[in-house]
Amino acid sequence: MIYFAKWKIAMVLGVCLLGLTFLVPNFLSKETAEGLPDYLPHKQISLGLDLQGGVHLLIEVGVDTVIRERAESIRDDVRVTLRNAKIRYAGLGIRGTSVRVTVKDPAKVDEAVSLLSKDRIGMDIDSDGSAITLAFTEKSMTEQKVGAVEQSVEVLRKRIDALGVREPTIIRQGDERILVQVPGIKNPERLKKIIGQTAKMTFHLVDTRQLAPGRVPPGSMRVPDAQDKYQDGSPVTYLVQKRVMVSGESLVDAQPSFESRTNEAVVSFRFDTQGARKFGDVTTKNVGVPFAIILDGKVITAPVIREPILGGSGQISGRFSVQETQDLSLLLRAGALPAPLTFLEERTVGPGMGADSIAAGKIAAVVGLIAVIIFMVVGYGKFGGMADVALMMNIILIGAALSILQATLTLPGIAGVVLTIGMAVDANVLIFERIREEVAVGRTPISAVDAGYSRAITTIIDANVTTLIAAVLLYQFGSGPIRGFAVTLAIGIMTSMFTAIMLTRLMVVTWLRRTKPTKLEI
Amino acid sequence: MSRLHLIPLGINLKFIPKRKMFFVFSCVIVIASIFLFLSKGLNYGIDFRGGIMIEVKTQGPANIRAMRETLSGLGLGEVALQEFGAPDTVLIRVQRQPGGDQAQDPAVQKVKAALGANVDYRRTETVGPKISDELFWSGVQAVLFAIIAIMIYIWFRFEWQFGIGAIVALSHDVITTIGLFALFQFEFNLSTVAAVLTIAGYSINDTVVVYDRVRENLRKYKTLPFTDLLNKSINETLSRTVITSVTTLLALFALYFLGGEVIRDFSFAMIWGVLIGTYSSICVAVPLLLYLSVNRGTGASKTQIEATE
Sign of CA dihedral B162, B164, B165, B170: positive
Interchain pair A60, B246: CB under 8 A: no
CATH number, domain of A422, equals 1.20.1640.10
Question: Based on the domain organization, do A510 and A389 belong to the same domain?
Answer: yes
Among the partner-chain residues A348, A476, A521, the one whose CB lies closest to the CB of B123 is A348
Any domain includes A261 = yes
Any domain includes A396 = yes
Among the partner-chain residues A196, A418, A465, the one whose CB lies closest to the CB of B251 is A418
- pLDDT of B152 above 90: no
Looking at beta carbons, which residues of chain A come within 8 Å of B278? none
Mean pLDDT score of chain B, rounded to an integer? 88
Any domain includes A331 = no
Question: Based on the domain organization, do A165 and A205 belong to the same domain?
Answer: no
pLDDT in tens, A193-210: 889 888 889 999 998 877
Taking the CA atoms of chain B, what radius of gyration do you get in angstroms? Answer: 24
pLDDT, position B305: 42
Residue A333 class from Cβ within 10 Å (0-12 exposed, 13-18 middle, 19+ buried)?
Answer: middle
Q: Is A375 on the interface with B (CB under 8 A)?
A: yes
Cα–Cα distance for residue pair A178/A340, rounded to 1 Å: 12
A342: closest chain B residue by CA? B102
Interchain pair B105, A346: CB under 8 A: yes
Residue B199 · residue A461 · CB < 8 Å: no
Coil, strand or helix: which one is A318? coil
Interchain pair B208, A459: CB under 8 A: yes
- pLDDT of B173 above 90: yes
Q: Which of residues 471-500 of A touch B (CB under 8 A)?
A: 471, 473-474, 476-479, 481-482, 485-486, 489
Structure confidence at residue B297 as a pLDDT band (50, 70, 90)? low
Which residue in A359, A369, A413, A367 sits closest to A394, CA to CA?
A369
Exposure b/e, B89-126, CB count within 10 A at least 16 = b:
bbbbbbbbbeeebbebbebbebbbeebeeebebbbbbb
Any domain includes A365 = yes
Interchain pair A470, B150: CB under 8 A: yes
pLDDT, position B308: 41
Which run of H or E residues covers position B57?
Answer: strand B51-57
- The overall longest dimension of chain B from CA atoms, in Å, is 79
Structure confidence at residue B309 as a pLDDT band (50, 70, 90)? very low
pLDDT, position A1: 65
Beta strand B120-127 with B51-57: parallel, antiparallel or unpaired? antiparallel
- pLDDT of A401 above 60: yes
Sign of CA dihedral A434, A436, A440, A446: positive
Residue A324 · residue A265 · CB < 8 Å: yes
Which run of H or E residues covers position A120?
Answer: none
Taking the CA atoms of chain A, what radius of gyration do you get in angstroms? Answer: 35
pLDDT, position A243: 85
Residue A281 class from Cβ within 10 Å (0-12 exposed, 13-18 middle, 19+ buried)?
Answer: middle
Any domain includes A330 = no
pLDDT, position B307: 40
A521: closest chain B residue by CA? B1
pLDDT, position A399: 93
Which residue in A365, A413, A490 sits closest to B251, CA to CA?
A365
- The residues near B87 (Cβ < 8 Å, ≥ 6 apart) are B61, B62
Residue B95 · residue B74 · CB < 8 Å: no
- Higher per-residue pLDDT: A371 or A501: A371
Mutate to test the interface with B, among A466, A472, A487 (most CBs of B within 10 A): A466
Share of chain A above pLDDT 70, in %: 99
Which of A125-134, A147-156, B115-124, B286-295 shows the highest mean pLDDT? A147-156
Residue B126 · residue B104 · CB < 8 Å: yes
Question: Based on the domain organization, do A374 and A475 belong to the same domain?
Answer: yes
Question: Based on the domain organization, do A256 and A289 belong to the same domain?
Answer: yes
- The residues near B35 (Cβ < 8 Å, ≥ 6 apart) are none
**Distance to chain A for B168, nearest Cα, Å:** 15
Question: Based on the domain organization, do A361 and A225 belong to the same domain?
Answer: no
pLDDT in tens, A65-112: 889 888 888 888 888 888 888 889 888 888 888 999 998 888 888 888
Which domains does chain B possess?
Answer: 16-44+132-308 (1.20.1640.10), 51-127 (3.30.70.3400)
Domain boundary among the residues A245, A278, A309 is at A309
CB atoms within 10 A of CB A198: 18
pLDDT in tens, A223-259: 998 888 888 878 888 889 888 888 888 888 999 999 8
Residue B200 · residue B150 · CB < 8 Å: yes
**Distance to chain B for A232, nearest Cα, Å:** 21
Domain boundary among the residues A179, A196, A213 is at A196
**Distance to chain A for B276, nearest Cα, Å:** 16
- Higher per-residue pLDDT: A3 or B213: B213
Over range A49-70, report the average pLDDT.
90
Which residue in A240, A269, A283 sits closest to A335, CA to CA?
A269
Looking at beta carbons, which residues of chain B come within 8 Å of A340? none
Phi, psi of B127 (to 5 degrees): -125, 120
Residue A206 class from Cβ within 10 Å (0-12 exposed, 13-18 middle, 19+ buried)?
Answer: buried
Cα–Cα distance for residue pair B107/B112, rounded to 1 Å: 9
Among the partner-chain residues A364, A381, A482, the one whose CB lies closest to the CB of B259 is A364
Residue B218 · residue B243 · CB < 8 Å: no
Total number of residues shown for chain B: 309
Give A336-369 as a 3 state SS string. CCCCCEEEEEEEEECHHHHHHHHHHHHHHHHHHH
Structure confidence at residue A267 as a pLDDT band (50, 70, 90)? very high
Which residues make beta-bridge pairs with A255? A268
Interchain pair A425, B244: CB under 8 A: yes
- The amino acid sitting at B218 is L
Among the partner-chain residues B121, B123, B150, the one whose CB lies closest to the CB of A469 is B150
Looking at beta carbons, which residues of chain B come within 8 Å of A417? none
Coil, strand or helix: which one is A220? strand
Question: Based on the domain organization, do A227 and A272 belong to the same domain?
Answer: yes
**Distance to chain B for A323, nearest Cα, Å:** 17
Share of chain A above pLDDT 90, in %: 28
Interchain pair B260, A476: CB under 8 A: no
Q: Is A380 on the interface with B (CB under 8 A)?
A: yes
Give this complex's ipTM.
Answer: 0.86
Over range A145-153, report the average pLDDT.
92
Domain boundary among the residues A133, A167, A196 is at A196
Looking at beta carbons, which residues of chain B come within 8 Å of A379? 3-6, 243
Interchain pair A478, B255: CB under 8 A: no
pLDDT in tens, A457-486: 888 888 888 888 888 888 888 776 778 888
CATH number, domain of A286, equals 3.30.1360.200
A483: closest chain B residue by CA? B194
Q: What is the dihedral of CA A91, A93, A95, A99, to 10 degrees?
A: 110
Q: Is A121 on the interface with B (CB under 8 A)?
A: no
Any domain includes A181 = yes
pLDDT in tens, A326-349: 999 999 888 889 899 999 999 999
CATH number, domain of A114, equals 3.30.70.3400
- pLDDT of A315 above 50: yes
Which residue in A480, A476, A477, A475 sits closest to A345, CA to CA?
A480
Q: Is A60 on the interface with B (CB under 8 A)?
A: yes
- The amino acid sitting at A126 is D
Any domain includes A448 = yes
Angle (CA) B51-A200-A338 rounded to 5° is 70
Cα–Cα distance for residue pair A88/A82, rounded to 1 Å: 7
Mean pLDDT score of chain A, rounded to an integer? 88
Among the partner-chain residues A345, A411, A521, the one whose CB lies closest to the CB of B128 is A345
Phi, psi of B246 (to 5 degrees): -65, -45
Cα–Cα distance for residue pair A473/A486, rounded to 1 Å: 8
- pLDDT of A153 above 70: yes
- pLDDT of B122 above 80: yes
Any domain includes A329 = no
Question: Based on the domain organization, do A70 and A118 belong to the same domain?
Answer: yes
Looking at beta carbons, which residues of chain A come within 8 Å of B105? 192, 196, 343, 346
Among the partner-chain residues A196, A489, A521, the one whose CB lies closest to the CB of B1 is A521
Which residue in B232, B261, B215 sits closest to B85, CA to CA?
B261
Angle (CA) B13-B14-B20 rounded to 5° is 145
Over range B242-252, report the average pLDDT.
92
pLDDT, position B237: 92
Among the partner-chain residues A411, A436, A476, the one whose CB lies closest to the CB of B9 is A436
- pLDDT of A261 above 90: no
A-B contacts (CB, under 8 Å): 238
Residue A92 · residue A78 · CB < 8 Å: yes
Looking at beta carbons, which residues of chain B come within 8 Å of A485? 191, 194, 198
Question: Based on the domain organization, do A125 and A258 belong to the same domain?
Answer: no
Structure confidence at residue B85 as a pLDDT band (50, 70, 90)? confident
Question: Based on the domain organization, do A215 and A122 belong to the same domain?
Answer: no
Interchain pair B260, A433: CB under 8 A: no
pLDDT, position B2: 53
Please state the pTM of the whole predicted model: 0.81
Question: Based on the domain organization, do A67 and A164 belong to the same domain?
Answer: yes
Cα–Cα distance for residue pair A69/B39, rounded to 1 Å: 49
How many structural domains does chain A have? 3
Residue A1 · residue A505 · CB < 8 Å: yes
Question: By residue range, what is the domain housing residue A462?
Answer: 6-53+350-515
Q: Helix count (H) and strand count (E) of chain B?
A: 11, 6
- pLDDT of B244 above 80: yes
pLDDT in tens, A411-423: 888 888 888 888 8
Over range B183-203, report the average pLDDT.
87
Question: Based on the domain organization, do A143 and A226 belong to the same domain?
Answer: no
Structure confidence at residue B252 as a pLDDT band (50, 70, 90)? very high
Structure confidence at residue B3 as a pLDDT band (50, 70, 90)? low
Cα–Cα distance for residue pair A265/A255, rounded to 1 Å: 11
Over range B184-195, report the average pLDDT.
88
Sign of CA dihedral A482, A484, A490, A496: negative
Interchain pair A433, B237: CB under 8 A: yes
Looking at beta carbons, which residues of chain B come within 8 Å of A367? 254, 258
Angle (CA) B153-A413-A59 rounded to 5° is 100
- The amino acid sitting at B22 is F
Q: Which of residues 222-241 of A touch B (CB under 8 A)?
A: none
- The residues near A468 (Cβ < 8 Å, ≥ 6 apart) are A490, A493, A494, B201
Over range B282-290, report the average pLDDT.
94
pLDDT, position A363: 94
Cα–Cα distance for residue pair B220/B203, rounded to 1 Å: 26
Question: Based on the domain organization, do A157 and A63 belong to the same domain?
Answer: yes
Q: Between A63-84 and A138-162, two packed helices, what is the crossing angle to 10 degrees?
A: 120
Structure confidence at residue B214 as a pLDDT band (50, 70, 90)? very high
